[in-house]
A and B are shown apart, each in its own frame.
Chain A
Amino acid sequence: MKSVSRMATTALQKTTHPHLHSHSDSSSASTPSSSSQNNNTMASALQEKEFVAQFAEPHTPLPPQEIQTRQRSQDLGHSSRNLSVKDFELVRTLGTGTFARVWLVRLSNPAEQDRDKVFALKVLRKVEVIKLKQVDHVNHERSVLADVAGHPFITTLITSFSDHDSLYMLLDYCPGGEVFSYLRKAKRFDENTSRFYAAEIVLIIEFLHEREGVAYRDLKPENLLLDAEGHIKLVDFGFAKRLGNRETYTLCGTPEYLAPEVIQSKGHTTAVDWWALGILIYEFLTGYPPFWHQNPIEIYKQIVSKPVHFPSEPYTSPEAQDIIRQFCTVDRSHRLGNVQGGAAAVKAHPFFRGVYWDDVYYRKYRGPIIPPVRYLGDAQCFDTYPDEKHGRDVYTHELVKKWDHYFEDF
Chain B
Amino acid sequence: MSYPSAYQEAIESLNQEVSRAQPSDILQFCANFFAQRLEGERADLLAGPHSKPPAMSGSAFPGRFGANSNPFGDGEKLGSAGGISNVIEEEETDTVESPAAPNFSFGAGGSFSSPFSGDGAGQGPPSSFKPAADGFPDQYGMGRRTSVSAESLNPTASSNDNWSPPFHQKTLEQLTRLRKSISGNFLFNHLDDDQSSQILGALVEKPIPAKDIKVITQGDQGDFFYVVEKGTFDVYVNPAGEFQPGPNGLGTKVATIESGGSFGELALMYNAPRAATVMSAEASCLLWALDRITFRRILMDSTFQRRRLYESFLEEVPLLASLTKYERSKIADALETQKYPAGTTIIKEGDAGEAFYLLESGEAEAFKSGNPAAVYQYKKGGYFGELALLNDAPRAASVISKTEVKVATLGKDGFQRLLGPVESIMRRTKYETGVEDIDPLSTK
Contact = CB atoms under 8 A, between A and B. Distances in A.
B147 interface: yes
Contacts of A265: 296, 299-300, 303
Interface in B134-179: 134-137, 139-142, 144-153, 155
Given A192-B74, A333-B418, A245 B326 contact: yes
A253 B266 CA distance: 15
Contacts of B104: 185, 371-372, 380-381
Contact of A366 (B71, B86, B134): B86
Interface in B50-89: 64-65, 68-74, 76-78, 80, 83-89
A280 to B, nearest CB: 12
Interface stretch (A105-113, A156-164, A292-300): A292-300
A186 B101 CA distance: 13
Contacts of B120: 370
Contacts of A367: 86
A122 to B, nearest CB: 14
Most B Cβ at <10 Å: residue of A263, A266, A312: A266
Contacts of A133: 149-152, 271
A372 B334 contact: no
Most A Cβ at <10 Å: residue of B32, B128, B146, B414: B128
A114 to B, nearest CB: 20
A254 to B, nearest CB: 5
B420 interface: yes
A366 B119 contact: yes
Interface in B31-50: 31-32, 35
Contacts of B414: 333
A182 B128 CA distance: 12
Contact of B101 (A269, A333, A383): A383
Interface string A332-365: 1110001111000000000011111011001111
A384 B99 contact: yes
Nearest to A97: B146
A264 B101 CA distance: 36
Most B Cβ at <10 Å: residue of A191, A247, A374: A247
Contacts of A311: 135
B142 A184 contact: yes
A256 B137 contact: no
Contacts of B326: 245
Contacts of A196: 72
A98 B151 contact: no
Contacts of B303: 247, 249, 265-267
Given A340-B418, A356-B64, A370-B115, A269 B147 contact: no
Contact of B115 (A134, A199, A371): A371
A339 B418 contact: yes
Given A267-B307, A359-B77, A372-B115, A380 B148 contact: no
Nearest to B191: A264
Given A254-B145, A383-B101, A185 B106 contact: yes
B150 A250 contact: yes
B218 to A, nearest CB: 13
Nearest to B135: A313
Contacts of A182: 116
Interface stretch (A33-41, A146-154, A222-230): A222-230
A252 B265 contact: no
Contacts of B99: 384
A369 interface: yes
B240 interface: no
Contacts of A307: none
B137 to A, nearest CB: 6
B300 A267 contact: yes
A192 B71 contact: yes
Nearest to A181: B102
Nearest to B73: A192
Contacts of B25: 2
B376 interface: no
Interface string B285-304: 00000000000100110011
A334 B415 CA distance: 11
A308 to B, nearest CB: 15
B1 interface: no
B86 A230 contact: yes
Interface in B228-282: 265-266, 269-272, 275
A287 interface: yes
A136 interface: yes
A305 interface: yes
A364 B71 contact: no
Interface string A185-204: 11111111101100100000
A288 B142 CA distance: 8
B312 to A, nearest CB: 14
A397 interface: no
Given A181-B102, A368-B128, A370-B115, A358 B35 contact: yes
A365 B103 CA distance: 26
Nearest to A140: B152
Nearest to A98: B146
B186 A305 contact: yes
7 nearest A-B pairs in the assembled complex, by CB-CB distance: A192-B73, A133-B151, A372-B90, A187-B132, A354-B71, A372-B115, A252-B149
19 contacts: A177-B102, A181-B102, A186-B112, A193-B73, A195-B72, A250-B149, A251-B269, A253-B148, A288-B137, A292-B140, A296-B272, A300-B186, A313-B135, A333-B414, A340-B418, A352-B71, A371-B104, A380-B103, A381-B102
Interface of A: 1-2, 59, 63, 65, 97-99, 132-134, 136-137, 177-178, 180-182, 184-193, 195-196, 199, 218, 220, 222, 228-230, 238-239, 245-247, 249-256, 263-267, 269, 287-288, 292, 294-297, 300-301, 304-305, 311-314, 332-334, 338-341, 352-356, 358-359, 362-374, 380-384
Interface of B: 24-25, 27-28, 31-32, 35, 64-65, 68-74, 76-78, 80, 83-90, 93, 99-104, 106, 112, 114-116, 119-120, 127-137, 139-142, 144-153, 155, 186-187, 190, 265-266, 269-272, 275, 296, 299-300, 303-304, 307, 324-326, 329-330, 333-334, 414, 416-420
Given A239-B147, A313-B135, A384-B99, 20 more contacts: A59-B84, A181-B101, A185-B101, A188-B129, A190-B129, A220-B145, A245-B329, A246-B329, A252-B147, A288-B140, A294-B141, A333-B333, A340-B418, A355-B71, A358-B31, A359-B77, A366-B74, A368-B74, A371-B87, A374-B87
